[in-house]
């Protein structure tokens, strides 16, 4: 059964779309200030008011923590829970390479293209990331243009800038604490 659960984050309302048997994440919808817009973009049966599925709760809590500014490292098991159904093997390589970008850092579309062995496939990388069904966990917001400009983002350029700034603040404060 496909379930969608809309939840609040520090950046607005987001949604987790998942199946229960077996548990698979099918999509994550990025935060938006209007809850009704999020609801319109979800498919499947709305979850009950209180989600009781343990894996769904873990994913939701991790996403909420990320948007609170907690330096979040998503559990490797999350990748086992992702439904890559209609994603080609090359697209999956792009998503896997993107998932390796460390918190607080960025990589260019050409860096990702090189990482998957397709040096000239920058546009392919951009198109793949535009369809990323698992934003935040697969941090496509950390991919920028070679010239340092932001490039596109499914949640909009403003959200991308806010997410990168959040990570920069957390990374900077971590450096100050460790000195």
The 3-class SS string of the chain reads CEEEEEEEECCEEEEEEEEECCEEEEEEEEEECCHHHHHHCCCCEECCCCCCCHHHHHHHHHHHHHHCCCCCCCCCHHHHHECCCCCCHHHHHHHHHHHCCCCCCCEEHHHHHHHCCCCCCHHHHHHHHHCCCCECCECHHHEECCCCCCCCCCCCHHHHHHHHHHHHHHHHHHHHHHC
Do 69 and 24 have their domain in common? yes
4-20: per-residue pLDDT in tens?
889 999 999 999 999 88
- Within this chain, do residues 7 and 24 fall inside the same structural domain, yes or no? yes
Statement: residue 179 has pLDDT above 60: no
Q: Are residues 74 and 17 in the same domain?
A: yes
Same domain, 61 and 96: no
Q: Find the catalytic residue in 140, 143, 159, 166.
A: 140
Residue-wise pLDDT tens digits, 64-85 = 999 999 877 788 889 999 999 8
At residue 45, φ and ψ (nearest 5 deg) are -80, 130
| 75 and 93 belong to one structural domain | no
Domain ranges, residue 122: 87-178
How many folded domains does the chain comprise? 2
Dist CA 93 CA 90 (whole Å): 5
The model's confidence at residue 94, banded by pLDDT at 50, 70 and 90, is very high
Does 171 lie in the same domain as 108? Answer: yes
Name the average pLDDT for the chain: 89
Summarize pLDDT for 124-168 with one digit per residue, the tens.
999 999 999 999 999 999 999 999 999 989 899 999 999 999 999
Residues 8 and 73 in one domain: yes
Look up 140 and say whether it is catalytic.
yes
């Amino acid at each position: 059964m496909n379930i969608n659960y809309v939840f609040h984050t520090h950046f607005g309302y987001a949604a987790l779309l998942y199946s229960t048997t077996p548990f698979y994440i099918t999509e994550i919808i990025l935060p938006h200030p209007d809850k009704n817009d999020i609801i319109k973009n979800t498919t499947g049966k709305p979850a009950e008011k209180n989600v009781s599925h343990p894996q769904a709760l873990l994913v939701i809590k991790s996403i909420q923590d990320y948007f609170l500014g907690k330096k979040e490292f998503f559990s490797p098991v999350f990748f086992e829970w992702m439904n890559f159904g209609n994603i080609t093997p090359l697209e999956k390589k792009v998503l896997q390479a993107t998932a390796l970008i460390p918190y607080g850092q960025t990589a260019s579309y050409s860096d990702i293209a090189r990482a998957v062995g397709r040096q000239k496939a920058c546009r392919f990388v951009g198109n793949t990331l535009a369809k990323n069904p698992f934003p935040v966990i697969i941090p496509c917001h950390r991919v920028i243009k070679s010239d340092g400009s932001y490039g596109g983002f499914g949640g909009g350029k403003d959200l991308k800038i806010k997410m990168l700034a959040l990570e920069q603040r957390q990374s900077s404060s971590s450096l100050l604490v460790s000195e």
